[in-house]
Amino acid sequence: MLVGAAFTFVLALALWGTVSTAITDPAPESAEHVFHLHPKDAELSSAGFFGKFDNRQVQRGFQVFKEVCAACHSLKYVAFRDLAEIGYSEAEVKAIAGQWVIEQPSVNPDTGEAATRKNVASDRFPSPFANEVAARAANNNALPPDLSLIAKARHDGANYVYSLVGPDGYRPQPAALVKEFPGAKTPPGLHYNPYFANLNIAMPPPLTADGQVTYTDGTKATRDQMSKDVSAFLTWTAEPKLESRHGAGLAAVIFIAIFCFLAWGAYQNVWRDVKH
């Protein structure tokens, strides 16, 4: 008991010291704390308890990924055949795989030397770089992250992606930031983005102008529209079974509600003759 009491006393003393220091000498605010912005709402159809994917939008997002993002980012957990889940036919999936710019690494069976081959539907999306060293060498020593699960790996991921690459993401660094935090000036080679964790990101603006992508369905490709669409696509890659999960959850809630009503009815029937 004495040992336990002593241990508790030391913990209480340490806690009191931490709290009193935080009150009397609070840590100074950082530039990230003051100027970091919370993501804007992308208003995707997949959001919410009953959200469902808009396949046309997800397909447009795939087109943005293919023509813009795939030059630097991988999608290693997604196979070409998975595209059938967002409305592409089997023939279209095979055509997309076969026409993909980056081919699969292979070995020449005759010589045993390294070679490449066309992608097939069962292949996963290949990386644009041979390895991490090559990726860093091509991106000023920054490693482009794989985007398969980016919408799950970041807080409020879908809105984060939309805000980060959208028209309000990349902007000139505010003069007030440099004035208040002189040491927080954006270093050369980085880009100011208030939605990024430390405000300065190595990735150049990916969506620079309206019409950068020509949508096959005729939708006007504004920067805002493209950022929403690629956000929808990366939400799907991160959680392709979202609709099934929502359906299962709704069915479970309905089942529990019915079960509770039946249990209440059984209780009333069993105890109806018992006087309180």
Q: What is the DSSP letter of 121?
A: T
Look at residue 273 and tell me whether its pLDDT is greater than 80: no
Q: What is the mean pLDDT of residues 41-54?
A: 92
pLDDT of residue 271: 82
Q: What is the mean pLDDT of residues 20-42?
A: 80
Whether residue 198 lies inside any domain: the answer is: yes
Give the model's confidence band at 23: pLDDT under 50 very low, under 70 low, under 90 confident, else very high: confident
Look at residue 203 and tell me whether its pLDDT is greater than 80: yes
Q: Which residues contact 250 (CB under 8 A, 6 or more apart)?
A: 49, 50
Over residues 56-100, the pLDDT tens digits come to 999 999 999 999 999 999 999 999 999 999 999 999 999 999 999
Please give the tally of structural domains in the chain: 1
> What's 218's domain CATH number?
1.10.760.10
Report the alpha-carbon distance of residue 217 to residue 60 in Å, rounded: 8
Whether residue 164 lies inside any domain: the answer is: yes
Whether residue 220 lies inside any domain: the answer is: yes
Closest by Cα among 142, 152, 148, 158 to 127: 148
Whether residue 178 lies inside any domain: the answer is: yes
Closest by Cα among 157, 170, 231 to 205: 170
pLDDT of residue 251: 92
67 vs 25, which has greater pLDDT? 67
Q: What is the mean pLDDT of residues 134-163?
A: 94
Look at residue 154 and tell me whether its pLDDT is greater than 90: yes
Over residues 229-267, the pLDDT tens digits come to 999 999 999 999 999 998 899 899 999 999 999 999 998
Whether residue 157 lies inside any domain: the answer is: yes
Q: What is the mean pLDDT of residues 145-154?
A: 95
- Residue 79 structure tokens: 């196979």
* Cβ proximity of 85 and 240 under 8 Å: yes
Q: What is the mean pLDDT of residues 171-191?
A: 90
Give the model's confidence band at 206: pLDDT under 50 very low, under 70 low, under 90 confident, else very high: very high
Whether residue 200 lies inside any domain: the answer is: yes
Whether residue 5 lies inside any domain: the answer is: no
pLDDT of residue 128: 94
Look at residue 211 and tell me whether its pLDDT is greater than 70: yes
- Residue 101 structure tokens: 């710019």
Q: Packing angle between helix 55-67 and helix 223-238, nearest 10 degrees?
A: 100
Over residues 108-144, the pLDDT tens digits come to 877 878 888 899 999 999 999 989 999 999 998 999 9
pLDDT of residue 25: 66
Q: What is the mean pLDDT of residues 166-192?
A: 91
Closest by Cα among 78, 87, 86 to 121: 78
pLDDT of residue 115: 83
Whole-number Cα distances in Å, 69 to 1, 160, 186, 245: 63, 16, 24, 28
Mean pLDDT of the chain: 91
Global model pTM greater than 0.95: no
**In the block, residue with structure tokens 């208040």:** 180
Give the model's confidence band at 41: pLDDT under 50 very low, under 70 low, under 90 confident, else very high: very high
Look at residue 225 and tell me whether its pLDDT is greater than 60: yes
Whether residue 239 lies inside any domain: the answer is: yes
What is the domain extent for residue 150?
38-78+124-263
Q: How far apart are the first and last CA of the chain?
A: 48
